[in-house]
Amino acid sequence: WKHHLGDVIGETNLPRNVKDKDFIGAIRETSYRMPAGRLVASSMAYEQCTISEYNDDFFVIKMVTKTPHVPFGSKFIAHTQIVVVREGKNKCRMICSVEAEFPNGPPLGLSGQIKKGMRKGTIEMFEKIGAHIISCATSYGC
């Protein structure tokens, strides 16, 4: 995380001088290789993730992902949001959404296919994040 408290984001016990709200606005930039699909070769994705809310009851991360090397990739941006809400002892809910942005208008006749592919890839990512949250909770004895 590009943040002066990046090394303690996600820790269960924060230093006394650190408050939950101190993490809001933290940014993490990452890139990763997306696997090949039926119609698209393996390619790089570039993501900027921002913590927009962070407290004992819930946290929200917003991601902006660009995939300039896929067909028409320079024509759209994926906006993703993940909200994780505590719902009681040993229970939480993850709410996820994704939306396509076409800064210069959607490519003629292709916006539906782009959105469908974006949703499919995002669902796979959400499932992995959910599994990771469960793994972390289990390792902390929750």
Q: How far apart are CA 30 and CA 136, in angstroms?
A: 21
Question: Rounded to whole angstroms, how far apart are CA atoms 128 and 138?
Answer: 15
Handedness of CA 93, 67, 48, 131 (dihedral sign): positive
pLDDT for position 38: 76
Show the low-confidence residues of the chain (pLDDT under 70): 140-142
Give residue 77's pLDDT.
95
Q: d(Cα 84, Cα 51) in Å, to the nearest integer?
A: 12
Q: Compute, in degrees rounded to 10, the torsion defined by CA atoms 7, 128, 59, 21.
A: 10
pLDDT of residue 141: 63
Token pair of 84 as six digits = 């994780």
pLDDT at 140: 67
Q: Give the pLDDT of residue 24.
A: 92
Amino acid letter for position 84: V
How many helices (H) and strands (E) the chain has is answered by 1, 5
Q: What is the pLDDT of residue 135?
A: 86
